[in-house]
Structure 1
Amino acid sequence: MHYINGRLFCALPAFEMQEGRRTWLYHGTVGNEVDLHTAHVHGLVGVTAGGEHVDSKLLLPGSTAVVDIVPDNIGVWLFHCHVNDRLHASMQALLSVRPATTGPAKRAKAVSSFVPNRRRC
């Protein structure tokens, strides 16, 4: 099984972000030459240290990356790996962006949601 933060899908509390508040996602992978990893966040776009705007980051084995995100899309989003064996082996989680409570980032938006396939839970 593959995991995020040491937990399998459905055992991991949803990651939480607040609209307009800068957040960093830290990605890392270990393994051998076949262990590529593609971390993908639905509904959000971040910026890497190299200045690329991404919603998915490809990692080679033994590498790390940091993605700087200022969430602007309220809702509950899927965070997963695009490598099929990892996706089917539980490397997925939910990421929740809650509305800003004060300041200029506060605005009315429709809330999007993702209903995961619960057959693995």
Structure 2
Amino acid sequence: MANDKNNGQDNLRNAKASASNMYEEGKAGASKMYEEGKASASNMYDEGKDRVNQVYEQGKEKAEEIYKQTKEKASEIYEESMKKVSEAQENLKEYSDELVKTVKEKPLTSLLIAGGIGFIISALLKK
């Protein structure tokens, strides 16, 4: 019976040692998995961050390109408009100089034409 008791105690010690070994192996495995997961998450974060920065830079470059094109086009339109305004001013000056010259040369005719135009405008406005 003493032999059975010793065998039981040995079995209990062996079971405790085995359980302790399994606990330590499980703990080591869980720690390893945690570290691998942590490293993987860190790598994925870095890759995501790099991709966001890359997309940001591409968007920034495209926005700068569009801004430059828009600015150039606006400048072209402005220059073209200023040219047209200048041409219109020159034409207006020429026509007004011509009108003044004609009025000076033929004052009576000019007065009759102006009166006729005034009469027509007056008649149109009364309707």
Q: Structures share a fold, TM > 0.5?
A: no
**Greater share of helix:** 2
**Greater share of strand:** 1
What TM-score comes out, normalization by structure 1 length? 0.15
Q: Comparing both chains, which one has the higher relative contact order based on Cα–Cα distances under 8 Å and sequence gaps of 6 or more?
A: 1
What TM-score comes out, normalization by structure 2 length? 0.15
